[in-house]
Amino acid sequence: MNFGDHVRAVHAGGALVVQPRMGMADPALMRAGLEAVERADADTVGTITLDSYTRTGDLESVRAALRDGVGLNGYPIVNYPAAVTRGVVAGLAERGFPVQVRHGSARPLHIFGALLDAGLHATEGGPVSYCLPYGRTPLDESVRNWEASCELAAEYAAERGVRPHLETFGGCMLGQLCPPSQLVAISVLEAVFFHGLGIRSLSLSYAQQTNAEQDAEAIGALRALAGQLLPDADWHVVVYAYMGVYPRTAAGANALLAAAARLAVDTGSERLIVKTSVESSRIPTVQHNVDALEYASAVARDRRRQLAGPDAPAAPPAPGTDSQVYREAAALVAAVLDGVGTGGVGGALVGAFKRGLLDIPYCLHPDNAGRSRSYLDEAGRLCWAELGGMPLQGIAPVRPGRRITSGDLTRALCHVQEGFDAVALDPGADRPVGAAEHETLEGKPA
């Protein structure tokens, strides 16, 4: 059973799959971390996160670090022989614990080759989402590299009889200041890009943002568009716990994670990537990750019981095509796909950024037009302040003449952190939309 099949089977059985973001350079420590996640009291899948030198292709620096005993911030899969990595994951998939490789590379062909040689078939990223936020690699170069990587995975699948799985990262890209319609659009477009290159097992990502109701609309729009554009693919939705400035208090961090778990359950999402209670201050240990996985799983179980109980509140209709987020995302997707020609979806993505049809607010990459702006409204929803050349005129409401200052940006970046910490320190404070109730859950403090 491949990664995507496993996740969808667990979800069909009534559970939310939870996953850490974890990577260690030492193979023995990496194996021990995976086994700890497997033993957690939760429905988990494993992660091998790669180091930043491997991500950028600086393999000589990896060799020097391994030779000199210098620490790396992840697992250097390319520099280890395939047999070493096969030993790290030996027997795990057979025990129902598949492992995904996470990396962050705009030029991932060397990474795809290494993970496939080691018998791993699940990874993530995308030609836009692993290019624009991470450096200055030209977008057309990233597209070519991702095309070659997907073709390698599809060729490997045909030869070995396996089904590789790819997760789009588009729903997480600079997500703390990007209105969700564009994150949804990029996640869907990256999935269509993968699908066109022969990848049929997919997951589409979305990162928790600043307003729970808007997040629910976004995931509904993501599911609706995926259903329309990927009818013959096997796909699921993965929610990321908030990826911006994280609460400083453990109670605030746990409240934010609990909100993410409830969001995943309420929207029918199949998988949740967690963050820990120490995100604001240090690199989490394996135990921090296990604690976060078990806590998120407990919150999800409690939420499902609430929704299934006799006193459950009447659930609102699941948002799909009837939302502002959907209308904006559908317009962006249609504008890009209208430009598909001999260069395929990859060429259309490059052309869309050149024309400003896609434009990420506050993104400094040279291939981003940089004419769009966003702001938080009074309810904490991410809205467009300036549309630039995006095809959203008459669709997205824009506040005329709104000037975005550095103070506005700072407040937007810190909105979630300050709101959840305020409730943690003062339960009588105004509660951010989606904040958890600060009470015990199965013996664990919220």
> Could you tell me if residue 98 is left (phi over 0), alpha (psi between -120 and 50 degrees) or otherwise beta?
beta
DSSP string, 299-332: HHHHHHHHHHSTTPPPPPPPPSSSSHHHHHHHHH
Q: Are 102 and 49 in contact (CB under 8 A)?
A: yes
The CATH homologous superfamily for domain 3-308 is Methylmalonyl-CoA mutase (3.20.20.240)
Q: Which residues 6+ apart lie within 8 Å of 43 measured at CB?
A: 10, 15, 16, 17, 18, 297
CA distance 270 to 19: 11
Q: Which residues 6+ apart lie within 8 Å of 224 measured at CB?
A: 320, 321, 326
35, 154, 201 from 121: Cα distances, Å: 19, 10, 10
DSSP 8-state assignment for residue 95: G
Domain positions in the chain are 3-308
CA distance 38 to 18: 11
CA distance 150 to 7: 21
How much is the pTM?
Answer: 0.93
Helices 344-355/139-160 angle, 10° precision: 160
pLDDT digit string (tens) for the chain, length 446 residues: 899 999 999 999 999 999 999 999 999 999 999 999 999 999 999 999 999 999 999 999 999 999 999 999 999 999 999 999 999 999 999 999 999 999 999 999 999 999 999 999 999 999 999 999 888 999 999 999 999 999 999 999 889 888 999 999 999 987 778 999 999 999 999 999 999 999 999 999 999 999 999 999 999 999 999 999 999 999 999 999 999 999 999 999 999 999 999 999 999 999 999 999 999 888 899 999 999 999 999 999 999 999 988 877 665 556 678 899 999 999 999 999 999 998 999 999 999 999 999 999 999 999 999 999 999 999 999 999 999 999 999 999 998 777 888 888 899 999 999 999 987 777 665 555 444 443 333 333 33
